[in-house]
Chains A and B, each alone.
Chain A
Amino acid sequence: MIKVTDLHKSFYHQTEPQKVLDGVNLQIDKGDVFGLVGQNGAGKSTLINIMLGLLSADSGSVLFQSKNSTSLKAKQIYGAMSEQPKFYEQFSATETLAFVGKLYKINTNALKEKIPQLLELVDLSSSANNKVKSFSKGMHQRLALACALINEPKILILDEPFDGLDPIGRRLFKQIILEQKSRGVTIFFSSHILSDVQEICTKVGVIINGKIEPIPLSKKTTKDELENKLLKILNG
């Protein structure tokens, strides 16, 4: 479960505070897929960076399974994927996954089994030993998702996961996210693409004026209806 409570964050431009998050509250239960949408600069990445401990909040808390999200124990149970992921370019996909696996203290024998499986899952088997610097943007995304899954996370945090993927890649990612959901993984992702959000999310929220407004969603909600609801909230 993810629980965000009364999160505040301001940035200062020439001593003038600019509130980006102004009391964000959010609860995502086990097995839910939460999609966060919002305009550019609304604070989606700021929220994700605070959730992952890369930025500190002015006040408020983020808990992953009741653990402070910045603690090493919380880091053991989540997998994260950044917007435009980057890797050590001189390393191959296999070496990258091995490095990440070691950071999760996965033993070498287990990694020898796990890495080819993950590469197959994200359709990178044929590039397993190619250096990351030769990868396209979509391949970077695939490798980032494989890295996020290597510890069999209970929580997945994905920042614009479909960005730069071709239609086949997008379909594959949606399948993987839904498989993770069926395993009981709690998933939080941000996206600009409403059709993706509508297809796979169980909950949707829009970030506006530093707060998250929930968008009511049912199984029958179409992409157009979701778009209308979103525009209604954005236009006040």
Chain B
Amino acid sequence: MVKIIALNTFKQLIRDKIAYSIFLLLIFALTVSYFAGTISLNQQIRLINSVMLSAFMLSVVIISLFIGANIIERERRERLLFFVLTKPISKTDYFIGKWLGVSIVIFLTFVLYVVSYAILIKISGGSINIFSFTALAYVFFEGILLTAIALTLSVWTKPILAIIVFIMLYLIGHSSSLLLTIGEQLNNFASYLLKALYYLLPNLEKFNLRNDVNYLSGYSNNEALSVIAYFVFYLILTLLIGVRVFNKRVFV
């Protein structure tokens, strides 16, 4: 059942022309990387790494924010939930299927970026750095975690509030070490609160290799495994919360 909903969601999103905007962003990133690289002094490969990773991150945030936070609410608004949930499918399968469908779109975007990146590096005369692919893969992980967060928020509250909370979580997630630093300078209660937030909210900087991609020769398998374990833990936790909230919600 999850597979049927996921493939249906994927087809729906592709036909909704989301693919065009992702593709346009990719073309833009390729053009900027290539032409800006040619006029930069011995920095072409670094520039390509930086622009491609940022463009992929932007695509992933756009997909998870504007699709993930809206897709179930849109189906409620358009009475499609009546159409689907009166069929022999559980709410859990529907929720997971929706997440998986959006994740397939992110995966396809990831593949597009990996292939384009490899071609661009070849054209520019550089050698392919495996860590650039690792960095892209981490953004992909972050994207599907963000989608799970956006979906969970969207079934918990109204779309506009879900978007606001999502953006806050995204910003805090990318600067969570600041929470600790600030916490150390505050009184007891605020300090505990910020520490609790630091440990509770996902630290999205763990998926950010954009600044290090050119200097990652020492990146170990253990580090990669710990990031993957961190990702799997938060993903399962978020999906479990989302499923529980969705199962309790009434949609008519």
Among A49, A88, A103, contact of B252 (Cβ-Cβ < 8 Å): A49
Asked whether A56 is an interface residue with its Cβ less than 8 Å from the other chain, the reply is yes
The answer to whether A56 and B250 touch (CB under 8 A), given A82-B82, A86-B78, A86-B80, is yes
Identity of the chain A residue whose Cβ is nearest the Cβ of B78 in the assembled complex: A86
Asked whether B211 is an interface residue with its Cβ less than 8 Å from the other chain, the reply is no
Q: How far is the CB of A196 from chain B (nearest CB, A)?
A: 22
Among A49, A80, A99, A104, contact of B8 (Cβ-Cβ < 8 Å): A99
Please tell me if the beta carbons of A87 and B252 are within 8 angstroms of each other in the complex: no
Chain B residues with a Cβ closer than 8 Å to the other chain, count: 23
Asked whether B83 is an interface residue with its Cβ less than 8 Å from the other chain, the reply is yes
Identity of the chain B residue whose Cβ is nearest the Cβ of A157 in the assembled complex: B86
Q: Hey, which chain B residues are within 8 Å of A49, CB to CB?
A: 252
Asked whether B158 is an interface residue with its Cβ less than 8 Å from the other chain, the reply is no
Please tell me if the beta carbons of A87 and B83 are within 8 angstroms of each other in the complex: yes
Please tell me if the beta carbons of B79 and A86 are within 8 angstroms of each other in the complex: yes
Please tell me if the beta carbons of B88 and A75 are within 8 angstroms of each other in the complex: yes
Identity of the chain A residue whose Cβ is nearest the Cβ of B89 in the assembled complex: A103
Q: How far is the CB of B94 from chain A (nearest CB, A)?
A: 10
Q: A-side binding surface: helix, strand, loop or mixed?
A: loop
Q: How far is the CB of B184 from chain A (nearest CB, A)?
A: 45
Task: Give chain A interface residues in 69-86, CB to chain B under 8 Å.
Answer: 72, 75-76, 80, 82, 84-86
The answer to whether A90 and B250 touch (CB under 8 A), given A75-B87, A80-B86, is no
Question: Within the assembled complex, what's the spacing in Å between the Cα atoms of A86 and B74?
Answer: 12
Identity of the chain A residue whose Cβ is nearest the Cβ of B12 in the assembled complex: A88
**Interface-centre pick from B1, B87, B89, B250 (highest chain A CB count, 10 A):** B87
Q: How far is the CB of A216 from chain B (nearest CB, A)?
A: 32
Question: Within the assembled complex, what's the spacing in Å between the Cα atoms of A176 and B89?
Answer: 26
Please tell me if the beta carbons of A85 and B83 are within 8 angstroms of each other in the complex: yes
Please tell me if the beta carbons of A54 and B88 are within 8 angstroms of each other in the complex: no
Asked whether A172 is an interface residue with its Cβ less than 8 Å from the other chain, the reply is no
Asked whether B251 is an interface residue with its Cβ less than 8 Å from the other chain, the reply is yes
Task: Give chain A interface residues in 13-58, CB to chain B under 8 Å.
Answer: 49, 52-56
Identity of the chain B residue whose Cβ is nearest the Cβ of A159 in the assembled complex: B82
Q: How far is the CB of A54 from chain B (nearest CB, A)?
A: 5
Please tell me if the beta carbons of B86 and A52 are within 8 angstroms of each other in the complex: yes
Please tell me if the beta carbons of B251 and A54 are within 8 angstroms of each other in the complex: yes
Task: Give chain B interface residues in 81-121, CB to chain A under 8 Å.
Answer: 81-90
Asked whether B223 is an interface residue with its Cβ less than 8 Å from the other chain, the reply is no
Please tell me if the beta carbons of A104 and B83 are within 8 angstroms of each other in the complex: no
Question: Within the assembled complex, what's the spacing in Å between the Cα atoms of A84 and B80?
Answer: 11
Q: Hey, which chain B residues are within 8 Å of A52, CB to CB?
A: 82, 86
The answer to whether A54 and B83 touch (CB under 8 A), given A49-B252, A86-B78, A99-B4, is no
Q: How far is the CB of B35 from chain A (nearest CB, A)?
A: 36
Asked whether A165 is an interface residue with its Cβ less than 8 Å from the other chain, the reply is no
Asked whether A102 is an interface residue with its Cβ less than 8 Å from the other chain, the reply is yes
**Interface-centre pick from B81, B84, B252 (highest chain A CB count, 10 A):** B252
Please tell me if the beta carbons of A75 and B4 are within 8 angstroms of each other in the complex: no
Among A55, A72, A84, A88, contact of B88 (Cβ-Cβ < 8 Å): A72
Question: Within the assembled complex, what's the spacing in Å between the Cα atoms of A139 and B89?
Answer: 25
Question: Within the assembled complex, what's the spacing in Å between the Cα atoms of A53 and B15?
Answer: 30
Q: Hey, which chain B residues are within 8 Å of A200, CB to CB?
A: none
The answer to whether A55 and B86 touch (CB under 8 A), given A86-B80, A90-B16, A103-B1, is no
Q: Hey, which chain B residues are within 8 Å of A53, CB to CB?
A: 85-86
Please tell me if the beta carbons of B85 and A55 are within 8 angstroms of each other in the complex: no
Q: Hey, which chain A residues are within 8 Å of B81, CB to CB?
A: 54
Question: Within the assembled complex, what's the spacing in Å between the Cα atoms of A188 and B121?
Answer: 65
Interface, chain A (partner B; CB < 8 A) = 49, 52-56, 72, 75-76, 80, 82, 84-88, 90-91, 99-100, 102-105, 147
Interface, chain B (partner A; CB < 8 A) = 1, 4, 8, 11-12, 15-16, 78-90, 250-252
Residue contacts A-B, CB under 8 angstroms, 27 given = A52-B86, A53-B85, A54-B81, A54-B86, A54-B252, A55-B250, A55-B252, A72-B89, A75-B86, A75-B88, A84-B79, A85-B83, A86-B78, A86-B79, A86-B82, A86-B83, A87-B80, A87-B83, A90-B11, A91-B12, A99-B4, A99-B8, A102-B4, A103-B88, A103-B89, A105-B88, A147-B83
